[in-house]
Amino acid sequence: MSFERKNIAKIQGYVPGEQPKSEGFVKLNTNENPYPASPLVAEYLAKIQAEDLRRYPTPMADEFRKIASQVHGVDPLNIIPTNGGDELLRLAITTFVDENEAVVITKPSYSLYPILTQIHNCSLEEINLSDNFTLPEDFKNLLKNVTAKMCILVNPHAPTGSLLKTSFIDELASNFSGILVVDEAYVDFVDSAESYNCIPLVKKHKNLLLLRTLSKGYSLAGLRFGYGIADPELIAPMMHKTRDSYNTDYVSQKLATAALLSREYAKENWERVRISRQGLIRNLCDLGLKTLPSHSNFVLSQVPLELGAEVLYQKLKQKNILVRYFDEGLLRDKIRISVGSERENKLLIASLKEILNA
């Protein structure tokens, strides 16, 4: 006998990237930053005492909201801190989407989106990307005409790293009657030449919710701290009604604040990743692994059919190198590779040469 709700019983659940079971692995499968968090984060961490944990943290993470609002040029009322970006996604669906309403996403995309809609038992509408992973030409019209309460787009896209321009997001928000959630988990790695910045659009569109996280750009994946940026009318019900009490803990609030205060340090690492990304793409293409341009800290490479993406994934794993393979649709002949340190990238390329030339 099962006590699960019927819709929960049908869910397979989110499958995270594989974790190494021993030391010595080159871990390029979960899009972590290859460089450590800032010295200021380490300094704040060293100052935390056991006595500090006796009391509850600030419920609204006020210090973090203040610093985040200064960084982004908005009001603290535009900011909601969350336990990772994933909590913001869950809050948005729980707060704004009824069970008889739909959420629109693209396919492929972040695999957690469908699971969150299944948990909430609302409808899911998936719009397939074209064979080259671009949005269909009539996407704007499709979104305008579809009956949905929410649309979630990851930008830069996962798992390709492609980027939708600010003007495109602006137009979508203008023409969509529901809530447009733009998951900007990887936004820190966008080439500066793109001049991508959707934050000013929050003041223009009451239906736009931006997701940010400290996991990628600030090297704090182990901390689980994210935040949303939106009009106060979108923020308020999540903040005061559906958010868990004390949803971000004392330690994470302190370290997240330190991370934003040392943003210049993080920017240096973003540029290092961008440079490494371009070199990695060139090297992969030279090996015959067609690799899409990327604005993220990962790349998506096509594997020749005579070898197979799953086979290559397994062969790399045998060499203690983890990459990500997705056994679905357009992704079956591809592997996703996180941009590692220079040492890790060199080990990857050397291992690929051995495998491909065997």
pLDDT tens series, the chain, 358 aa = 689 999 999 898 898 899 998 888 999 999 999 999 999 999 999 999 999 999 999 999 999 999 999 999 999 999 999 999 999 999 999 999 999 999 999 999 999 999 999 999 999 999 999 999 999 988 988 887 778 999 999 999 999 999 999 999 999 999 999 999 999 999 999 999 999 999 999 999 999 999 999 999 999 999 999 999 999 999 999 999 999 999 999 999 999 999 999 999 999 999 999 999 999 999 999 999 999 999 999 999 999 999 999 999 999 999 999 999 999 999 999 999 999 999 999 999 999 999 999 7
Per-domain residue ranges of the chain: 18-36+264-357, 39-261
Distance between CA atoms of residues 23 and 78, nearest Å = 42
d(CA 223, CA 228): 16
Q: What is the pTM of this model?
A: 0.96
Largest Cα separation within the chain, whole Å, is 60
* b (16+ CB within 10 A) / e for 97-132: beeebbbbbbebbbebbbbbbbbbebbbbebebeee
Distance of CA 23 to the CA centre of its chain: 26
Taking a C-beta distance cutoff of 8 angstroms, is the pair 213, 204 a contact? no
Q: What angle do CA 133, 138, 144 make, to 5 degrees?
A: 115
Do the first three CATH levels of 18-36+264-357 and 39-261 match, i.e. the same topology?
A: no
The class level of CATH for 39-261 reads alpha beta
Domain 18-36+264-357: CATH superfamily, name plus number: Aspartate Aminotransferase, domain 1 (3.90.1150.10)
Sequence-separated contacts (24+) of 67-70 with Cβ below 8 Å = 67/257, 67/260, 67/261, 68/227, 68/229, 68/260
